[in-house]
Structure 1
Amino acid sequence: MARTAAALHILVKHKEKAEEILEQLNKGAKFQTLAKKYSSCPSGKKGGDLGEFKKGQMVSAFDNFCFTGEILTPAIVKTKHGFHIVKILYRT
């Protein structure tokens, strides 16, 4: 079982905005460009890059997705912070 993961994310307040961003990604938009433009998280300035983190380090729903979701396929995850578009880069 993976103990660490690395991911990019874009944090927004509204589900509709998250769906709109996911649609842009599916049409070929660059994740980092959209993160810089839309993310309310400080990581947005770094293209949404969260770096590598350990299992249990992130809020529960986000953590669960990062350790079970499909790698390199952006998806929407809802947490107490809002709606995240998450792209898992790898797990180790």
Structure 2
Amino acid sequence: MANTAHALHILVKHKEKAETILKELEKGAKFHLLAKKYSICPSSKKGGDLGEFKRGQMVAQFDKVCFTGEILKPHLIKTKFGWHIVKVLYRT
């Protein structure tokens, strides 16, 4: 079982915006560029890079995707902060 994960994310307020960004990613847009353009999280300055974090450090919905979701596939989730597009780079 993985204890750490490294992920990127894009945080927006509205589901419709998140779905539009997902479609852009599916068409081949670069994740880090979309994070810089749209994300309201301070991590947007780093292309949405959250770095490596431990299991349990993030809110439950986010943590679940990061430790059980498919790696390198963007996932759409809702948390108390808004709508996230999460891309897990790796787990250790």
TM-score per shorter chain, which class?
A: over 0.9
Identity among equivalent positions (%) equals 76
3-state SS of 1:84 partner:
strand
The aligned counterpart of 1:56 is 56
Structure 2 Cα separation of the partners of residues 82 and 7 of structure 1: 17
Q: Where does residue 13 of structure 2 map in the other structure?
A: 13
Runs of 4+ in 1 over 2 A off after TM superposition: none
SS at match of 2:43: helix
- Report if the CA contact (8 A) 2:22-2:85 is conserved: yes
- Equivalent runs, 1:4-83 vs 2, <5 Å: 4-83=4-83
Aligned-partner residue type, residue 19 of structure 2: E
Secondary structure class of the residue paired with 2:73: coil
Counterpart of 1:30, as a letter, is K
The answer as to whether partners of 2:65 and 2:75 remain within 8 angstroms in 1 is no
Secondary structure in 2 aligned to 1:10? Answer: strand
Superposition RMSD on alpha carbons, in Å? 0.3
Q: Structure 2: how far apart are the matches of 1:33 and 1:24?
A: 11
Q: Deviations over 1:27-59 (max 9, x none)?
A: 000000000000000000100000000000000
Alignment gaps of 5+ in structure 2:
none
Give the TM-score normalised by the residue count of structure 1: 0.99
Shift of 1:75: 1.2
> Partners of 2:16 and 2:61 in 1: how far apart?
19
